[in-house]
């Protein structure tokens, strides 16, 4: 009996030892996995570093590319497109003007009554219309007929005080946010479609002529006075509110910048110099690329797997389309190499763009003690549950690394524009104010991104120069801006200002 008892004791002891060893091994494994995950995070932090020295190099590279793009067509990664906008709104504009804002699966039609310097925008109305999916891949006539019909219906709702002056044709500003080769203030040929559109017979056609023919078919007597993209529209809207606005930047799903250049500083401009002596340049700065940008393996993989590899490198590091995806790629590596979320990689985590930038922003801004917003977003977006507080804190840190890098190199780009215009230093005895208009969902809604960007611009400028630079939010510039540009390029301009 004693032998049996001793045997049982030995077996129990062995089992306890085995269980203890298993627990120890699991703890060691978990500890090893945590160390690996931390290594991945720290490596990302180091490679995403943006010391002022590096940011100044990025800004200088931006300025060099700006000069090259102004010198000749195809001379730079930056297209530096001549917008043909040489008269920005002054605040003196009077009358009724329309705008059409086409940039995605919806379009907006707007009606604005301008009352000059005293009354400014007297009244504004708009309507948003969805584009049926079949029209996004149909014919040019089908798409523009649909738009013209919606515009005609909107015109038919003109109320009291919202009619054009007698014997005057209605005038429209057309915001068309697709790649266009502009040939005048009111003409431009479509280079290619983006954002899910594929209408082959519209490519290489003048989009203003296409819209005009459609309006004629619908019996709508309206003239397109200005063709602009959303960034130029934002600049116009900003200038209307503040005469010191010299540039506009969009930071949303995508990104772009436009600014006011001295006409004589554009070597590739061969026409007569405009009376204003100025020309708005659409930089198309999303395509900027430099060896000084703090690129990582995640950026390179994202670019290689994108629809446009080798293009829009800057945009892929700073815009709302991509920030959340960069975070997802780092988390996926942690899951793969450090079993960060357990032995099985969550299926949703493997899907490209499963983590959107609004989700990343919500996690980054989570101020709850247990980071419950982080837990909720991980579960909903990536199918990850049962995370520890320690893990959630690491994920917030990762969001901070990616957002900070994006905001700081975006600030470097803005600083590059300021340098190009010679406004990065304060000239003795000269009172100078420079205003940059910013718009876009990323800038407007991602608070920490916005705060970091504005703080970085001040760091780059230094205290004295920073006091002369103002960042202003220009809300809905692409809509009202197009109507304002229709006003500032009206065929009735002199009569308008005399009335």
- Known catalytic residues? 177, 192, 230
Given a cut of 70, whether residue 400 has pLDDT beyond it is yes
Q: Is the pLDDT of residue 18 over 50?
A: no
pLDDT class of 430 with cuts at 50, 70, 90: confident
pLDDT higher than threshold 70 for residue 27? no
Residue with tokens 């300021």: 418
The structure tokens listed for 499 are: 């009335």
429 vs 425: CA distance, rounded Å: 12
Please report which residue ranges of 95-200 form alpha helices under DSSP H: 116-119, 140-155
Confidence band (pLDDT; 50, 70, 90) for 2?
low
Whats the size of the chain, residue-wise? Answer: 499
How much of the chain is in helix, strand and coil states, percent to nearest 5? 50, 15, 35
438 forms bridges with which residues in the sheet? Answer: 249, 473
Q: Across residues 177-196, what is the average pLDDT? A: 88
CB atoms within 10 A of CB 46: 11
Over 60: is that where the pLDDT of 388 sits? Answer: yes
pLDDT in tens, 216-272: 999 999 999 999 988 999 999 999 989 999 999 999 988 999 999 999 999 999 888
Burial bucket for residue 14 (CB in 10 Å: 0-12, 13-18, 19+) = exposed
User: Distance between alpha carbon 186 and the CA centroid of its chain, in Å?
Assistant: 25
Residue 498's pLDDT is what? Answer: 34
List, in order, residues 6 or more apart from 367 with CB less than 8 Å away. Answer: none
Q: What is the mean pLDDT of residues 367-392?
A: 95
- Residue 23 pLDDT > 50: no
Q: How far apart are CA 400 and CA 394, in angstroms?
A: 10
Give per-residue pLDDT as tens, 149-161.
Answer: 999 999 999 877 6
Instruction: Decide: helix, strand or coil at residue 252.
Output: coil
pLDDT digit string, tens, across residues 32-73: 789 999 999 999 999 999 999 999 999 999 999 999 999 999
Enumerate residues 6+ apart whose C-beta is below 8 A from 275.
86
The confidence score (pLDDT) of residue 496 equals 38
State the Cα–Cα distance between residues 47 and 108, nearest whole angstrom.
42
- The predicted pLDDT at position 5 comes to 52
Query: What mean pLDDT, rounded, does the chain reach?
Result: 89
pLDDT recorded at residue 7? 54
Residue 4 confidence (pLDDT) above 60:
no
DSSP class of residue 286? G
Angstrom distances, CA of residue 391 to CA of 31, 38, 300, 374: 13, 10, 26, 10
The sign one gets for the Cα dihedral 345, 346, 352, 358 is: negative
| Band of pLDDT at residue 494, cut at 50, 70 and 90 | low
Kindly state the average pLDDT of the residues 453-474: 95
Question: Which bin fits 120, alpha (ψ -120 to 50), beta or left (φ > 0)?
Answer: left
Q: Residues 454, 87, 112, 471: what is their CA dihedral angle, to the nearest 10 degrees?
A: 10
Structure tokens at 300: 């390179």
Report which of 362, 396, 398, 368 is spatially closest to residue 380, judged by C-alpha positions: 362
The tokens for 143 are 């798409």
**Residue 416: phi, psi to the nearest 5?**
-60, -40
In this structure, the strands spanning 94-102 and 170-176 are parallel
**Residue 427: burial class (beta carbons within 10 Å; 0-12, 13-18, 19+):** exposed
* Confidence at residue 213, expressed as pLDDT on a 0 to 100 scale: 97
Say what angle helices 372-382 and 389-420 make with each other, to 10 degrees.
Answer: 90
Cα separation, 80 vs 69, in Å, equals: 5
The pTM of this model reads: 0.87
Residue among 191, 166, 187, 165 at smallest CA distance from 178:
191
Tell me how far apart the alpha carbons of residues 424 and 161 are, in angstroms, rounded to a whole number: 46
Cα 389 to chain centroid distance, Å, stands at 32
Place of tokens 């630079």: 469
């Amino acid at each position: 009996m004693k032998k049996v008892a001793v045997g049982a004791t030995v077996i129990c002891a062995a089992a306890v030892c085995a269980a203890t060893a298993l627990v120890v091994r699991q703890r060691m494994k978990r500890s090893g996995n945590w160390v690996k995950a931390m290594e991945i995070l720290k490596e990302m932090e180091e490679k995403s570093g943006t010391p002022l020295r590096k940011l100044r190099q990025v800004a200088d590279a931006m300025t060099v590319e700006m000069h090259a793009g102004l010198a000749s067509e195809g001379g730079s990664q930056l297209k530096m497109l001549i917008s043909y906008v040489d008269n920005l709104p002054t605040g003196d504009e009077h009358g009724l003007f329309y705008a059409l804002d086409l940039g995605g699966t919806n379009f907006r039609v707007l009606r604005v009554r301008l009352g000059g310097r005293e009354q400014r925008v007297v009244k504004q109305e708009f309507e948003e219309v969805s584009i049926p999916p079949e029209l996004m891949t149909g014919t040019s006539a089908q798409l523009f007929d649909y738009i013209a019909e919606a515009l005609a219906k909107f015109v038919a709702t003109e109320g009291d005080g919202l009619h054009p002056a007698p014997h005057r044709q209605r005038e429209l500003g057309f915001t068309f946010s697709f790649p266009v080769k502009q040939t005048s203030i009111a003409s431009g040929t479509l280079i290619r479609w983006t954002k899910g559109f594929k209408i082959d017979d519209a490519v290489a056609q003048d989009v203003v002529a296409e819209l005009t023919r459609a309006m004629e078919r619908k019996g709508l007597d309206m003239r397109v006075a200005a063709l602009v993209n959303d960034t130029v529209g934002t600049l116009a809207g900003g200038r209307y509110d503040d005469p010191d606005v010299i540039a506009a930047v969009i930071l949303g799903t995508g990104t772009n910048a436009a600014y006011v250049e001295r006409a004589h500083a554009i070597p590739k401009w061969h026409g007569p110099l405009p009376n204003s002596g100025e020309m708005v340049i659409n930089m198309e700065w999303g395509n900027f690329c430099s060896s000084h940008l703090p690129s990582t393996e995640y950026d390179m993989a994202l670019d290689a797997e994108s629809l446009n590899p080798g293009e829009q490198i800057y945009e892929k590091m700073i815009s709302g389309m991509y920030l959340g995806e960069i975070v997802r790629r780092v988390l996926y590596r942690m899951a793969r190499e450090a079993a960060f979320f357990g032995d099985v990689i969550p299926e949703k985590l493997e899907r490209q763009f499963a983590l959107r930038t609004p989700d990343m922003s919500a996690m980054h801004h989570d101020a709850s003690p247990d980071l419950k917003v982080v837990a909720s977003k991980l579960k909903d977006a990536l199918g990850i549950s049962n995370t520890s507080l320690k893990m959630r804190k690491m994920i917030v840190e990762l969001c901070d690394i990616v957002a900070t890098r994006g905001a700081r190199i975006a600030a470097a780009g803005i600083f590059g524009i300021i340098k190009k215009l010679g406004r990065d230093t304060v000239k003795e005895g000269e009172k100078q104010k420079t205003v940059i208009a910013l718009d876009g969902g990323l800038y407007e809604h991602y608070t920490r991104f916005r705060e970091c960007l504005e703080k970085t611009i001040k760091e780059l400028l230094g205290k004295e120069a920073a006091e002369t630079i103002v960042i202003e939010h220009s809300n809905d510039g692409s809509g009202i801006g197009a109507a304002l540009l229709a006003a500032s390029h009206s065929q009735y301009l002199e009569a308008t200002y005399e009335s």
